[in-house]
Structure 1
Amino acid sequence: MDPIGTYDYTTEAYSLDFMRRLPLPTLGNYLLDAATRHAEERGAGYTVMERRGTAWVLSRLAIEVIDADGLAAPIRVSTWAEAMERIFIKRCFEVTSAATDKPLAYARSIWAAIDKNTRRPTSLAGAWPDRMMVPGRHCPVEIAGRIAAAEAAPDDAPDTRTVRYSDLDINGHLNSIKHMEAMLDGFDLETYRKASVQHFEISYHAEGRYGTQLARFRRTLSPGTFACALVDGDRAISRALIRFV
């Protein structure tokens, strides 16, 4: 089987945003769906991990948008595993036009395998065959180092949101995409009228639990570039770096 998985997605008009663009969280959902299908088809997905008592957890995700308008048309997502370390796997994505093959976006991610009982990282030995790896394939987006702590010097007082039923994933925790939505909701409509997100990077640090009240912080790093954070009490459960153009 080809180590690269390729999947087509079409976004209906009712799922576009008010600027007729593909919302970044929707693109995030497509990426996660492609990753899930790719792993499942190659014997390293939910079914196999469940038998091992383990689960995949997204640790980092960086998306670089090349053509925001092009993402509203039918797209093709290709994904492959780039490298594997003891407890992490690095996965890449290329998003192209389904009609022309023009590159529209790239993404790079880091995933960990955790023990479902202890919630601690577990070894990936035997979980991902070497034949599924595609090292060195072009993926021009980098994952930065530590993302600045927005809560250390926020632009304004934080607003809050409570984790509810529709926010939860299959494990009963705040869905990875809901973290993205919360960060992006921290900007007003005028921001999205004048610009679009060119770079979005998020790091996940802890689980968001049902009923928890989270504080959302935003900090301007430079014109058009922001650090954001979702904070539970005195710890950030996720941080994001967002750049508009």
Structure 2
Amino acid sequence: MPISPDFTSILSKDWEINFTQCAPNGYLKYTELCNLLQLTAAAHSEIGGISFSDMQEFNQAWVLSRMRVEIIDLPKWRDTVTVKTWINSLENSRSVRALEMYVNGKKIVGSETFWAVFNTEKRRPETLALPYEHFELYPDTKATVETFSKINITHEKEMLFERTVCLSDLDIVNHANNVKYFEWCLDLVDEKLILNQQIESFEMNFLKELSLKDKVSIHENINEDNTIFSITKEDKTSFALQLNWK
């Protein structure tokens, strides 16, 4: 699609929280929070002419590599949230995008995300084939207090669970969707911590893609202030998650 006449380098988009997105406590699920952030990023790329459809002409897609989310509050059922997004950096095959979520003008979530251009046939990163110079960049306007980092997974850990990637785990890029990794790990956390909104922030590192029928193991390391999960396939790490507790 061509660049929309409504294109702006900073996008704000409203979403109404519906009951299917909420946990039993009536508040937005952490996985659905990630989905809304990514849907807003996708909407911005759509009007800016670098969407999935545009990129598929060159067998390319954006894939998420790292994500940090800092949470002040979670929205609840029937809230209308405004998600604001802009790009910090965009060069060759990599981009850093900032996102913020507001309710009634109050910021409740900040996120920093790192994206890579991925060739969906060759299954490897490559330089973006589309023009992007029309995007104004905001390198100094940050959405989070801390930047994303490389999660330390070298510590002792316990193997908690094994599973096989199934069809419902796959997305349009034909690999396990990034939010699925997050969901698998959260399902192994004490539900009281989730329902009482004890997550202050979390980070995710996406290291290797997983495909249909891949067999994976989920590992956990519990510390005083955080819990670290890793997902491995044949002893190679595909994903790491760090949950930072209040």
**TM-score relative to the length of structure 1:** 0.90
- Residues 1:206 and 1:139: Cα distance change in structure 2 (over 3 Å): same
Once residues 211 and 196 of structure 1 are traced to their aligned partners in structure 2, the CA distance between those partners, rounded to angstroms, is: 33
- Which structure shows the higher helix fraction? 1
Aligned pairs for 1:87-236 (under 5 A) are: 87-97=93-103, 100-124=104-128, 126-149=130-153, 152-154=155-157, 156-221=158-223, 223-236=224-237
Residue 243 of structure 1 aligns to a residue in which SS? strand
Once residues 106 and 63 of structure 1 are traced to their aligned partners in structure 2, the CA distance between those partners, rounded to angstroms, is: 6
Once residues 126 and 20 of structure 2 are traced to their aligned partners in structure 1, the CA distance between those partners, rounded to angstroms, is: 41
Residue 27 of structure 1 aligns to a residue in which SS? helix
Once residues 25 and 127 of structure 1 are traced to their aligned partners in structure 2, the CA distance between those partners, rounded to angstroms, is: 32
Unaligned runs of 5+ in 2: 1-6
Are the counterparts in 2 of residues 61 and 143 from structure 1 also a CA contact under 8 Å? no
Question: Once the 2 structures are TM-superposed, how far is the Cα of residue 145 of structure 1 from its aligned partner?
Answer: 2.9
- Residues 1:82 and 1:53: Cα distance change in structure 2 (over 3 Å): same
Q: Is it true that 1:82 corresponds to 2:88 in the alignment?
A: yes
**TM-score relative to the length of structure 2:** 0.90
Are the counterparts in 2 of residues 197 and 243 from structure 1 also a CA contact under 8 Å? yes
Percent of aligned positions that are identical:
24
Alignment root-mean-square deviation, CA: 1.8
Question: Once the 2 structures are TM-superposed, how far is the Cα of residue 198 of structure 1 from its aligned partner?
Answer: 1.3
1:22 to 17, 24, 28: 28
Are the counterparts in 1 of residues 23 and 195 from structure 2 also a CA contact under 8 Å? no
Unaligned runs of 5+ in 1: none
Question: Once the 2 structures are TM-superposed, how far is the Cα of residue 183 of structure 1 from its aligned partner?
Answer: 1.8
Residue 175 of structure 2 aligns to a residue in which SS? coil
Residue 83 of structure 1 aligns to a residue in which SS? strand
Spell out, residue by residue over 1:6-41, the C-alpha distance to the aligned partner (whole angstroms, 9 max, x if none): 111112234311222211110111111111110010
Question: Once the 2 structures are TM-superposed, how far is the Cα of residue 215 of structure 1 from its aligned partner?
Answer: 0.8
Number of corresponding residues: 239
Paired amino acid for 2:135: R
